Amino acid sequence: MSIFINNDTKVVVQGLTGEQGKFHALRNRDYGTKVVAGTRPGKGGESVEGIPIYNTVEEAVDATGANTAMTFVPPPFAKDAVLEAAYAGCDLIVCITEGIPAKDEAEMYDILKENTSSRLLGPNCPGLISPGKSNVGIMPHEITIEGNVGVVSRSGTLTYQAVLELTNLNIGQSTCIGIGGDPVPGTSFIDVLDAFQNDPQTEAIVMIGEIGGSAEEEAAEFIKKNVTKPVVSYIAGLTAPPGKKMGHAGAIVSGNKGTASAKIEALTDAGANVVKNPTRIGQAIKDVV
């Protein structure tokens, strides 16, 4: 099995006619993902390398049975694009867009939770891949192999490194997920940890966090109470100065909140094996799998 996506996932790409949307949609399709449609208002009836373009997501869903949206829409319009996909009936919306205003993210999150059953991954995320099944996002499938370790991270780049460390030791992955580094992610660590805990294919979990917010501490509490599978973790930003945003919009230490040391302490107390260098992730997993 896998979580959130599988062989039957059908993807509609919002912004398929743009440079980045086209590039990654075709890479996903070449990997074997069922990329069945794209959208771009005013370009309905056209196609991109055999993929039909529709004016709206609703039209695309009705015509192709798409159940997942991948969103490459500029920040000012991304909120409307995500909500359009949700109201059209997409079960999963993978929002790649970076730089969406925090106010839009918060409004989008509330509307999705209160009025739809759609799951949002992101914004500002690399998406997810279940090796051998489907790739929805911008993750490099070349560094993945199918297996039994689930990977979840706030950082896209560290997702890639963790996966590569595993693959280099011939340790395969069940599903690899980047939840994004913005302050209001649609899918949390806890959401993913819960899914991994209930996924028969996943035997161990890699969780990569970073400074800022309390998501890692909340995840640690969830692990302590609910996760029976081995967890290896890495927290980025141990030497980050307080009050300075570090890369991601949500990566900022305020006073004594959101520090790497506090997150490491919470995860260690929860029973996770917290490594101090991302290059040690693979070996740490090998020791427990």
Q: Cα–Cα distances in Å, from 174 out to 99, 108, 215, 245, 251?
A: 30, 29, 23, 32, 27
Cβ atoms of 262 and 217 closer than 8 Å:
yes
Write the DSSP symbol of residue 55.
Answer: S
141 in active site? no
Measuring CA to CA, which residue among 224, 243, 222, 246 is closest to residue 235? 246
Cβ atoms of 137 and 13 closer than 8 Å:
no
> How large is the greatest C-alpha to C-alpha distance in the chain, in angstroms?
56
Considering the candidates 187, 248, 249, 270, report the single residue annotated as catalytic. 248
Using left for φ > 0, alpha for ψ between -120 and 50, and beta otherwise, residue 6 falls in: beta
All residues at 6 or more sequence positions from 27 whose CB lies less than 8 Å from its CB, including other chains = 135, 141
- Relative to beta strand 134-137, strand 127-130 is antiparallel
Query: Which residues form the catalytic set?
Result: 248
